[in-house]
Amino acid sequence: MKRAFLGEFEEVVLLTVAILDEDAYGVSVTQEIEQKTGRSVGFSTVHTTLQRLEDKGFLSSRMGGATAERGGRRKRFFNVTAAGRKALQEVKQIRETLWSALPPQTLQLIGG
């Protein structure tokens, strides 16, 4: 099986879905990303990324029940699949390998 490559924002969205577990839907993912990263993100950007990750097989989704607060509309909840967990593990390993290869003096502050 070929290695899964994720873009930086795809990685953030996939990690956020994993963090939220059963409560991961478009709005909750958007809010969690903004809270955890301090980065302002658009709902449409998150929604598009969720769809793309589902198309790649890293996420699955299911429809929740209709609620009055949403005008009778249903929420689409997302879960990380086995392929998504594997992709996250691979990304983590790559990042750890790169960080461990970094010479210590690279990140030292000048004059500090």
In tens, the pLDDT along 39-81 reads 999 999 999 999 999 999 999 999 987 676 766 777 899 999 9
Task: Give CA–CA dist 83/9, Å, rounded.
Answer: 17
Alpha helix locations (H) across 1-112?
A: 8-20, 26-37, 43-55, 82-101
pTM of the model: 0.84
Assigned fold of 8-66+74-99: Arc Repressor Mutant, subunit A (1.10.10)
* Structural domain boundaries in the chain: 8-66+74-99
Contact 96, 10 (CB under 8 A): no
